C-alpha cells in the first residue's frame, strides 16, 4: 500500500473511543463469582483496564485478596473471555464526539487505525456491534503481532498495516501503556484524561493532553509539530 501524505491517526480502543468498562466489569465479576468473591464496581474496574484481560483479572483477584494456582487462573480467564464475548456491547458506549470527529478526519483524507490490548477478534466484535469497524484501515489487538503495547512492534505493525509511516503517525490513547508504546516507537502521543488510567496522564509527558475528543485533530497537529521541532 502506498505511503500516505497526511497524518495517520492511531487510536487506542477502551477508554479512548469506547467506554467499555460496564461490560468488562460484568465479565470480571462473572469470573470472581466462580471464586465466591464479591463483585467490583465500575469505577474500581476503570482503574484496572489497559493491559489486557489477564492483567485485569489478576488485578481483580488481587483487589479481593485472592491468589489462585496457574491452572485455576486459566479457567477463570476462559470464563472471563467467554462471558465478555457474549455480552461485549450490552452496556458499552461510544464516547461523545467520537463518531463526528472520526467522520471529519475521514472526510479530510486521513486514515484511521486502532491499536489495542484487547484481543483482535474481540476488538472487531465490539467495533462491529457499535457500527464503527469500517472506519479503520487496520484494527490490531493484543494477539495480532508478536508483542502488544507498550512493545513498539504493536504500534509500528499497526502503522504499517494501515499503510502509514511512523514519521507521520500519531497515537491517541488514555493510559501509561499508550504513552510507553508511543515513546518506544518514537511516535508522538495525545492522551485523553477521561479514560482508564491509574495515574494522572498529565504527569506522563505526552506531547498533548486533552479532556474532550473534539480536540483530537488540533492536539494531534500540535503533537506532530512538537516532534518535527524536536528533530531539527
Active site residues: 12
- The rounded distance, in Å, linking the Cα atoms of 160 and 17 is 21
For helices 70-86 and 21-33, angle between their N-to-C axes, nearest 10 degrees:
140
Nearest one of 18, 41, 32 to 93, comparing CA atoms: 18
Sheet strand arrangement including 208-210 = 138-140, 111-115, 8-11, 169-173, 189-192, 208-210
DSSP secondary structure letter of residue 168: G
What Rg do the C-alpha atoms of the chain give, in angstroms?
Answer: 17
Amino acid at each position: 500500500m502506498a505511503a500516505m501524505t497526511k497524518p495517520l491517526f492511531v487510536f487506542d480502543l477502551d477508554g479512548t473511543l469506547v467506554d467499555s468498562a460496564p461490560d468488562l466489569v460484568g465479565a470480571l465479576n462473572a469470573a470472581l463469582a466462580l471464586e465466591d468473591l464479591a463483585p467490583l464496581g465500575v469505577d474500581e474496574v476503570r482503574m484496572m483496564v489497559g493491559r489486557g484481560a489477564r492483567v485485569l483479572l489478576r488485578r481483580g483477584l488481587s483487589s479481593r485478596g485472592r491468589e489462585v494456582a496457574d491452572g485455576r487462573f486459566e479457567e477463570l480467564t476462559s470464563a472471563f473471555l467467554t462471558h465478555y464475548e457474549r455480552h461485549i456491547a450490552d452496556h458499552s458506549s461510544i464516547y461523545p464526539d467520537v463518531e463526528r470527529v472520526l467522520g471529519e478526519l475521514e472526510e479530510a483524507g486521513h486514515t484511521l487505525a486502532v491499536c489495542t490490548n484487547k484481543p483482535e477478534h474481540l476488538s472487531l466484535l465490539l467495533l462491529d456491534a457499535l457500527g464503527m469497524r469500517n472506519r479503520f484501515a487496520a484494527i490490531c489487538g493484543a494477539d495480532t503481532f508478536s508483542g502488544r503495547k507498550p512493545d513498539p512492534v504493536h504500534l509500528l505493525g499497526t502503522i504499517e498495516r494501515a499503510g502509514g509511516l511512523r514519521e507521520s503517525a500519531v497515537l491517541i490513547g488514555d493510559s501509561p501503556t499508550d504513552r510507553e508504546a508511543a515513546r518506544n516507537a518514537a511516535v508522538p502521543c495525545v492522551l485523553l484524561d477521561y479514560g482508564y488510567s491509574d495515574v494522572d496522564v498529565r504527569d506522563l509527558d505526552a506531547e498533548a493532553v486533552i479532556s474532550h475528543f473534539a480536540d483530537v485533530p488540533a492536539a494531534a497537529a500540535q503533537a506532530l509539530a512538537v516532534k518535527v521541532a524536536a528533530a531539527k
